[in-house]
Amino acid sequence: MHPKILSKADSLKDSMVETLTRLCRIPAVSPHNGGTGEEDKINELRKIIDELGLSHKAKIHIERVDDSQSKTGSRPSLFLEYPGRKSQRLCILTHVDIVPEGDLSLWSVDPFNPVIKGSRLYGRGVSDNGTCLVSSLYALKSVIDSGFEPEYTILLAFVADEEMGSHYGLEPLMERDLFRSDDLVIVPDSGNDSGDFIEIAEKAMLKLNFTVTGKQVHASLPHTGINACRVANMLAYEVDEALHKAFPNENKMFEPPFSTFEPTRRFANVSAVNIVPGRERFDFDCRVLPEVSLDEAINLVKNICRDIEIKTGAKIELEVDRTDSAQPTSPDSEAAKLLVKSIREVLHVEPVTGGVGGGTFAAFFRRKNIPAVVWSQECDGVAHQPDEFTEINYIVNNAKVFALMMAGE
């Protein structure tokens, strides 16, 4: 173990908090979710890299993916590659985008002006994924400032559009010549407070969007229309019940050990109480065990839609966004072993491996047969919530773990 590197990381704690605060003052919400995208945050990140002295010897470039809804016509992801003793690369991928703040009345702080309360920093994006983004930067700085040459060539990737499915981020970037088959890939986008959980498998994902079209009428004359709200309620209930009944499988590798089929977002319909709505839109978020057939689940939903159309006279449109599960990463992979060793040294815990509901960058690599592991020490249950926070010590601990991996310890 390199005590000098760990001591350097400790000395940089205040600077880490300042950097995270600075970045989280810049909302990087997708233009497909009401925001302006990642451009301003990437520009600020580029300045920070220079200020930290990480530009020296590093190759830095921005990859862009076309997006007509972006203010610049594209979505940027920043890549920093720093040479090490080996040409083999240790890749740490974090995402720069965040989810919207949601209902401001539920926040006790300004979500885009992070504040310290006790041992915590509060603000939107400070946990997801700001803590580990900053930790990866300061891990490299800790190694370099301590006078060590990294064992591996280090690739830090700060990627767009993770929160909305990576269609303008990692998904198209995987088709470019950016990653190698022997890369050691770490995705610090899931974890727990103890820092002892390493994710090596993810469930498949289904995002179902339903549009119910009926006939809008005055609420005093409901018999002359088709109430899309009532039809949507019926549809949501039947889909929910049918999916849970048809796919009760359990797999102890995952937490929770069963597939989840959750009705989530409901869109606004009419503007007055005395209007029978003629259109309703709502979503389901489904995290599906690998052994469950997504085709069977989708066909089941389509059959329910057809039955309810016949029963009610409404028209139902279904949009499906699917992400199939990938082969799990072996706990004996080089990346996993390196991570386990560093976690033990820094946190003095014995790591365990398992699966989660899905949605991280790791699945993209696993589909390319590049082993990837997901880990961070992070606060349980705060991501995407009002008053999102991170424990300040977790920023430092993550930086220490990444730094020891970089140093080959």
d(CA 195, CA 379) in angstroms, rounded, equals 9
pLDDT 10s digits, 84-122: 999 999 999 999 999 999 999 999 999 999 999 999 999
d(CA 185, CA 28) in angstroms, rounded, equals 24
With cut-offs at 50, 70 and 90, classify the pLDDT of residue 409: low
Q: Sketch the domain layout of the chain as residue ranges.
A: 3-202+326-407, 204-323
H/E element holding 275?
Answer: strand 275-276
Handedness of CA 381, 383, 389, 393 (dihedral sign): positive
- Percent of the chain at pLDDT > 70 equals 100
Tell me, what amino acid is at 209? Answer: N
pLDDT of 73: 97
pLDDT 10s digits, 119-171: 999 999 999 999 999 999 999 999 999 999 999 999 999 999 999 989 999 99
Q: Three-state DSSP class for 340?
A: helix
With cut-offs at 50, 70 and 90, classify the pLDDT of residue 2: confident
CATH code for the domain defined by 204-323: 3.30.70.360
pLDDT 10s digits, 243-300: 999 999 999 999 899 999 999 999 999 999 999 999 999 999 999 999 999 999 999 9
Question: 7 — phi, psi (to 5°)?
Answer: -65, -40
d(CA 54, CA 82) in angstroms, rounded, equals 8
Q: How many residues does the chain have?
A: 409
- pLDDT of 337 over the 60 cut: yes
H/E element holding 7?
Answer: helix 3-11
120, 389 contact by CB (below 8 A):
yes
pLDDT of 56: 87
Q: Where are the beta strands (DSSP E) in 188-253?
A: 197-202, 204-213, 217-218
**Architecture of the CATH domain 3-202+326-407:** 3-Layer(aba) Sandwich (3.40)
Q: Three-state DSSP class for 79?
A: strand
* Average pLDDT of the chain to the nearest whole number: 97
Handedness of CA 49, 385, 393, 351 (dihedral sign): negative
Active-site positions read 97, 162
d(CA 393, CA 378) in angstroms, rounded, equals 10
5, 138 contact by CB (below 8 A):
no
d(CA 191, CA 193) in angstroms, rounded, equals 7
What mean pLDDT do residues 42-55 have? Answer: 97
* pTM for the full predicted model: 0.89
Select from 369, 358, 362, 355 the least CA-distant residue to 323.
358
H/E element holding 93?
Answer: strand 89-95
> Token pair of 408, please?
């080959």
225, 278 contact by CB (below 8 A):
yes
pLDDT of 1: 54
Tell me, what amino acid is at 227? Answer: N
